[in-house]
Structure 1
């Protein structure tokens, strides 16, 4: 079964009911006529497997299963035959990035196309996204006639990119390693972990579990790359500056044991590489941030930076944060290692990014504004992973504003993602259960052993805890969901539904099945329509494009919510447009576009809009119903009947 047939079958199985031919054409990036032919051929295969695709005139297609056992066996065989091969454009892009990074040699386009069962033209489209990903790491694809393409760039940047694509954010900490050829020896990874943990403890460094995990992976990558003759150039590391840091001394001692454990010899430049990661991932323990740390030249620079961030957020979003001393201190602690990362191009992955964007869009927008201030004042480039980490601290402060007091139940929060996400959980729980819960402490998993559990009622953990503990453990997602609240205290959880029939949803700003073929066409076309209605001026387009450059506004599940960089116009509105076919948008397919504008200086509108968007992002069925709508009036009915 070819990749298109698999995509059609996947879409039909993912939705109860009818799927339109336009939707299937968009997902497969072919015409409706081609879809009809594909469905016909696919049916020839399915009829012998206990299923059939019914064509419903004027509506679309529906999958009907007559023999569940036979059909499930067929699906299992299909999965086994296609294991490891990418199907969707997103999967193909990730596969190609890893393939080029791991190969280190020239790869021919035709051979790659045959390898993943696509046409050369489809592969060429995928390679545009691959090149964009590599450009974020100052890497490129070098072309040589009759040989093909290969990755070109500094070794340190190859490693940063390789580490990004060697980590699976969906698996537990210390097991976040995909089965890549470079990371197959689990015994060696355990040995590296033990050495790193030992010296982190000895020297009192405070690192999140994820930061520890990333450091271990970077050391293993360094080990493998050295073994294949790929050594970092001293010119790319600013050696003099790194050698003067305390982190270099710690890395030297760490490497003495690593040399013995791994039977290798790390040269000085590779020790500096490890020190660079310590500089970029270390967290400062709060009580160690003394007055003198804030009075030196660097300290005063960061104080001014934090002041600028908070004032700008207050001005742009009308959120009162300047008097929040806990937030101020959290940002001072976070920004020192973060700026080190940014200066050296260490754009580390944020495993919580997707959940932050979906569940805390207002905090993420505050993070975008913070990132702009950082770029302007510190002369660095910031990406959406770092923005997500800033959003955790800002989101915790926003939630803290809802906390009225503490309750009788004493709990400890265990979080692998660091201080910001632990605080987000803490204040969200205290806001939700303000009379029933007191959060006594937040900790990383590997530091839990240092906490006295006497008098603690239960533990709330964002990662599985393997050992037996004398008190109950409740496992939650790092970005809390309704199910998590129910697991903590079901009888006290109440989530009223959101009424999407709101005054800013304009009936005259709905469009269906528009033929835009690219993201740029969508933004240009919708801006032109909004200008004609007198809602915005032409600069609206440029402001949306600047926002997209900072971080994509795609949310997955075919949805994007583009909006200007900051509120500048006189009316809050939401314009909704469905597309004939999905378009690539920040590495994801998008077919439903909700253009958002918030009236300048209207905090009430801002929070109301973001509540609506959060509910829309979480409701995949609603998105599919919007895409099925055949007219503007039908789309209006779908959106306002929720």
Structure 2
């Protein structure tokens, strides 16, 4: 018996029932003698590959698997159809693609024959298929005597097809050159129409739009159409409507498909949902901001102002940018249009404070839409907050005091050098010697830069520099003026007495009470400090996923600003996530300078978003380890 027939014979053998030589011969179209010879050869091969062929008088032959992994490896290596992948995961995805384009039910036996596997192995593959389907709100429907089929909304099926078989090219061994040529031609056509109609998309949004349009074309060609509720459709610009109508007209003519109004509406929604920050054209008469959108933008800004004590409410440009971003965001949320953020990890690492602010502000949107805001979307909102923070940095210039031990002439020269090198960061530059420092009003300045050692205790950060401002000195001063000093922030807000290790685990309330009791003994806080911390926990919960949580009171409730870090004895569940580090912050009534407070938030957010930094502290819960991680 040749290899193909031998593989077919293996597929026909069952684990849960016996089959006679006559039945097998009839299915294969060969003699019973040939079947018996093949069964003997198959048993010999299976003996070394996790299985065996057993027989029972008057019942027939039966497949027995002794090692599932070894048996599946044997099946992969002996597959006779070159188009069927070898690995288990790839076969699951191959099976998924097959089922997605099957309108009618398909029987289990047919699927076994299709990918040359046993019923047991097929069941294993179907579990993997169902895991994928669940992520897209799809499922497998089973009907006795009919078989199985995929059940769910057409749009969700298209999302799955786009993610797995367009973006990721999951079908191993399948020639996709024809698909790539078709998509390249479609992309050229879309770009041409975008130019004609002055429709603007970012490169990422353009790629996603082409992917979706390609899948829509293929699904319509196969007879699958979308159905959608046409009520409450957002306003779509005239240019966009004309662009989509011409695009669908071209597809209908060249590809022989019939486009429905629902398909046109959804493509319009997909286009509207892909518009991003910076893609709204100035003076675009079709771009409308509704009162509800502006209300959401204001609530987001107010919440960030309340939580971070940042004065963003006066930033009209930021408010308008949020408004512009919320319009396509609303389309994506209401019609469940995904938008991937390829910069997400970089945003978390480089713009940690902005990401933290975005996470807090999105609690407004979570309440409005009654669903979680995707992490990709949180990342895009973070870019808006980062832009506001950076512009604020440019507007907030610093006042410094330069201390030297030489005469007035040299002091004037030194002041001139600082003006020349650091003018973009500075507002006022004061100069004095050590004697003048004793009577100088330090509330006027943010930093002291000195060419001589200062032994007296002062309330302002000190940076020692050389008299002639060499290359290294210039870089050092620039870094301090631009980014501040982590060491200063740690000394100001953190401290050895504010670090708690081996904190006992109980309920969330128990742990917070333990920490707040320590705070009340060491800090000047309001009598309801603990209650205010609990109050804040009830309505804003930002999940970091790094074994850390950052509670704080719902309003200013302490005289001084501080940060307490508590490491628990073991992990506990906190807002449905495992947590072992609690970083409790409080901004005080005594005025922190805004730039210093921002630097504190940046340092804290960068630490909280770093999985490695939090992990290092958990492994070695010591104050020195915390300081090292905060300084990174």
TM class, shorter-chain normalised? 0.5 to 0.7
Give yes or no for the alignment of 1:288 onto 2:283: yes
Contact 2:154 2:224 (8 Å CA) reproduced:
yes
Counterparts of 1:601-612 in structure 2 under 5 Å?
606-612=597-603
- Residues 240 and 384 of structure 1: CA distance in aligned 2, closer, same or farther (over 3 Å): closer
2:227 alignment partner in structure 1: 233
> How far has the Cα of 1:114 moved from its partner?
6.2
> How far has the Cα of 1:196 moved from its partner?
1.8
> How far has the Cα of 1:611 moved from its partner?
2.7
Q: Deviation per CA, 1:43-99, whole angstroms, max 9, x where unpaired?
A: xxxxxxxxxxxxxxxxxxxxxxxxxxxxxxxxxxxxxxxx9989xxxxx9xx99999
1:201 alignment partner in structure 2: 195
User: RCO higher in 1 or 2 (8 Å CA, sep ≥ 6)?
Assistant: 1
2:448 alignment partner in structure 1: none
> How far has the Cα of 1:329 moved from its partner?
3.1
Contact 1:527 1:538 (8 Å CA) reproduced:
no
**Runs of 5+ unmatched residues, structure 1:** 1-82, 87-91, 168-176, 406-431, 437-488
2:341 alignment partner in structure 1: 350
Give yes or no for the alignment of 1:159 onto 2:140: no
2:251 alignment partner in structure 1: 258
1:268 alignment partner in structure 2: 261
- Residues 359 and 244 of structure 1: CA distance in aligned 2, closer, same or farther (over 3 Å): closer
Residue 270 of structure 1 aligns to a residue in which SS? helix
The counterpart of 1:498, out of the listed 482, 486, 489, is: 486
> How far has the Cα of 1:435 moved from its partner?
6.0
- Residues 218 and 596 of structure 1: CA distance in aligned 2, closer, same or farther (over 3 Å): farther
Contact 1:559 1:593 (8 Å CA) reproduced:
yes
Counterparts of 1:167-178 in structure 2 under 5 Å?
177-178=167-168
The Cα RMSD (Å) is 5.5
> How far has the Cα of 1:288 moved from its partner?
1.7
The counterpart of 1:389, out of the listed 380, 383, 393, is: 380
Counterparts of 1:459-608 in structure 2 under 5 Å?
494=479, 498-499=486-487, 501-502=490-491, 503-504=493-494, 507=497, 509-511=499-501, 526-533=511-518, 537=530, 540=533, 543-544=536-537, 546-548=539-541, 552-554=543-545, 558=546, 560-563=548-551, 570=558, 572-577=562-567, 593-599=581-587, 606-608=597-599
> How far has the Cα of 1:212 moved from its partner?
0.8
More deviation, 187-196/491-500: 491-500
> How far has the Cα of 1:215 moved from its partner?
0.8
> Which structure would you say has the larger Rg?
2
Residue 597 of structure 1 aligns to a residue in which SS? strand
- Residues 159 and 620 of structure 1: CA distance in aligned 2, closer, same or farther (over 3 Å): same
> How far has the Cα of 1:562 moved from its partner?
4.0
Using the alignment, how far apart are the partners of 2:149 and 2:198 within structure 1? 42
Give yes or no for the alignment of 1:192 onto 2:186: yes
The counterpart of 2:242, out of the listed 236, 249, 252, is: 249
- Residues 572 and 218 of structure 1: CA distance in aligned 2, closer, same or farther (over 3 Å): farther
Give yes or no for the alignment of 1:613 onto 2:604: yes
Residue 269 of structure 1 aligns to a residue in which SS? helix
Using the alignment, how far apart are the partners of 2:250 and 2:626 within structure 1? 65
Using the alignment, how far apart are the partners of 1:84 and 1:586 within structure 2? 39
> How far has the Cα of 1:620 moved from its partner?
6.6
Using the alignment, how far apart are the partners of 1:568 and 1:142 within structure 2? 53
> How far has the Cα of 1:205 moved from its partner?
1.5
- Residues 623 and 635 of structure 1: CA distance in aligned 2, closer, same or farther (over 3 Å): same
> How far has the Cα of 1:627 moved from its partner?
3.8
Q: Deviation per CA, 1:394-416, whole angstroms, max 9, x where unpaired?
A: 210110112269xxxxxxxxxxx
- Residues 637 and 277 of structure 1: CA distance in aligned 2, closer, same or farther (over 3 Å): closer
- Residues 574 and 187 of structure 1: CA distance in aligned 2, closer, same or farther (over 3 Å): farther
Contact 1:200 1:206 (8 Å CA) reproduced:
yes
- Residues 261 and 375 of structure 1: CA distance in aligned 2, closer, same or farther (over 3 Å): same
1:39 alignment partner in structure 2: none
Residue 537 of structure 1 aligns to a residue in which SS? helix
Give yes or no for the alignment of 1:341 onto 2:332: yes
1:73 alignment partner in structure 2: none
> How far has the Cα of 1:509 moved from its partner?
4.7
1:223 alignment partner in structure 2: 217
Residue 205 of structure 1 aligns to a residue in which SS? coil
Using the alignment, how far apart are the partners of 1:113 and 1:522 within structure 2? 42
Residue 403 of structure 1 aligns to a residue in which SS? helix
Q: Deviation per CA, 1:14-34, whole angstroms, max 9, x where unpaired?
A: xxxxxxxxxxxxxxxxxxxxx
Q: Deviation per CA, 1:108-143, whole angstroms, max 9, x where unpaired?
A: 998699679xxx9xx9xx96xx89x84xx6x26568
Using the alignment, how far apart are the partners of 2:86 and 2:583 within structure 1? 37
Contact 2:549 2:579 (8 Å CA) reproduced:
no
Give yes or no for the alignment of 1:319 onto 2:314: no
Using the alignment, how far apart are the partners of 1:578 and 1:538 within structure 2? 21
The counterpart of 2:170, out of the listed 174, 180, 190, is: 180
Contact 2:353 2:602 (8 Å CA) reproduced:
no
- Residues 511 and 96 of structure 1: CA distance in aligned 2, closer, same or farther (over 3 Å): farther
- Residues 360 and 625 of structure 1: CA distance in aligned 2, closer, same or farther (over 3 Å): same
Using the alignment, how far apart are the partners of 2:345 and 2:339 within structure 1? 14
1:44 alignment partner in structure 2: none
> How far has the Cα of 1:289 moved from its partner?
4.1
With normalisation by structure 1, the TM-score equals 0.53
> How far has the Cα of 1:204 moved from its partner?
1.2
